[in-house]
Structure 1
């Protein structure tokens, strides 16, 4: 049995606009990533997401709050830690989300300079959804650009248009996910405002930012030619020449149990290589350079 708890909003909550600029809530910093932008990347995962994608591989990112979980497999039932992460002798209690200053994040990501320099890589902000912490994202990207780092974000595009524009202009590339292209299904299933997302995509393309559309291939949701052709139809007027495919996987399945959450796709098989290749060929036939995995 795994317990999952959230402190009151007042506890460790980023409250003021000033604090939001200097401090962000991060739940992971992943090094040596090969699928989150050009070259070798270090990815800063920001906590908080307004969507509820059933296939989400990072369910711990959804709530903006700092949360705590207990892994039953590690718990020795000593009754001494009082749900205190620092006092837990077995490591059963874990904190999900840490408030970090700009300086703290930069001190972590700059450890990977040698990889960035040799691979034309850089730093990617991901989530959750970057647009849930826009002021911190803007401040961090500004600092990184001032230090001459290549930057990128991964986004669903679901957020404030003006803020997304500011963020995008501080990036060398924007990895932009296209999910369910039926407006009503998109709203009902994942809570996304499709019209807002499409307008935001158009806005940042018109700003001259390099935007790479990404298509998650999720059986029962997005892995069909009707949905894919809607994406291609929307992209046709734009000068886009590269698309990334993100085949469904089960890598995050165990996280749901750990967090005490229901995982709706546990019995959904991953797409076969032939299914993914068929989609790749279909998109390539429309003139796009297609990369599997991003």
Structure 2
């Protein structure tokens, strides 16, 4: 099979609706995407080209069909149809849901939200690519008194980000490569816009929590951490989540037929993580590993 890079789409041009969204997973009982026990909704589509992305199935906004060899009965002839496949070897990644459907689905977990102080987190992909729907969904959940959060890289017009962020109790905001030219080249990110958006959310009094993925060769360096801290200190924010690189996404790349270019990259050592953590703590930050 020929390996290819995953397709990308601009965050500026995707068509968005307020009544239908495309998602690819709902993860229940999560403890790492906001406070308490959470249900995480993963939206499909991402404009960035992060080589370390652990969710390659989130990148394309299209519904994709994959075949799992372990389930395949090697039928002859093969219909290559997820609806007709007798073993479930062929399956779709991605589905369209309405506001009402998704609201009912996540509210099945209300008892866990109430008992743990948890709630619903919208992730991706990049949730800003479907901001009208996400904003409308969080408005509905807040009427139920549900704690709400999003995970985002913040790289979109403020007119798209701010209304959504105002419906959140927490905005988990990724700060990645802090060199503007490298961010543009490596991950196709408009870093000046990202940083301006972060500061605007903070000025609005929104509970924005910065997160830094620790990626060898990209962000796992004292230089990048110094840039993160220099940016955050004037904002007055003193929380910081560190997200160490891992290899858990590799099987997904094989399943999709995409190349995993990070296969030879070692996960950060405890010493490397401790060095960056201590830098942040010495600067006055409350550091959470993971989150």
1:102 aligned onto 2:99: yes
Aligned match of 1:276:
273
Aligned match of 1:115:
112
Match of 1:162 among 159, 164, 169: 159
Cα deviation, 1:26-66, whole Å, max 9, x if unaligned, reads: 10000111110111111000000000100001000001111
Aligned match of 1:11:
none
- Say which SS state the counterpart of residue 73 (structure 1) adopts: helix
Cα distance in structure 2, aligned partners of 1:203 and 1:65: 32
Gap regions ≥5 residues in structure 1: 7-14
Match of 1:227 among 203, 224, 228: 224
Cα distance in structure 2, aligned partners of 1:117 and 1:277: 35
Aligned match of 1:256:
253
Structure 1 2/123 Cα, relative in aligned 2: closer, same or farther at 3 Å? farther
Aligned match of 1:197:
194
Cα distance in structure 1, aligned partners of 2:152 and 2:103: 21
Gap regions ≥5 residues in structure 2: 7-13
| 8 A Cα contact 1:174 1:212, kept in partner | yes
TM-score by length of 1: 0.92
Aligned positions, number: 283
1:149 aligned onto 2:146: yes
| 8 A Cα contact 2:62 2:94, kept in partner | yes
Cα deviation, 1:235-294, whole Å, max 9, x if unaligned, reads: 121120110000001111110011000011011111112221221111000001000001
Aligned match of 1:23:
20
Superposition pairs for residues 40-51 of structure 1, below 5 Å? 40-51=37-48
- Of 271-280 and 210-219, the range deviating more from structure 2: 271-280
1:127 aligned onto 2:124: yes
Match of 2:262 among 265, 268, 277: 265
Cα distance in structure 2, aligned partners of 1:160 and 1:262: 31
| 8 A Cα contact 1:3 1:70, kept in partner | no
Cα distance in structure 2, aligned partners of 1:30 and 1:252: 16
Q: Give the deviation of 1:83 after TM superposition.
A: 2.2
- Say which SS state the counterpart of residue 267 (structure 1) adopts: coil
- Of 202-211 and 64-73, the range deviating more from structure 2: 64-73
TM-score by length of 2: 0.93
- Say which SS state the counterpart of residue 262 (structure 2) adopts: coil
Deviating runs (4+, > 4 A) in structure 1?
1-4
| 8 A Cα contact 2:3 2:258, kept in partner | no
1:83 aligned onto 2:80: yes
1:285 aligned onto 2:282: yes
| 8 A Cα contact 1:2 1:259, kept in partner | no
Q: Give the deviation of 1:82 after TM superposition.
A: 2.2
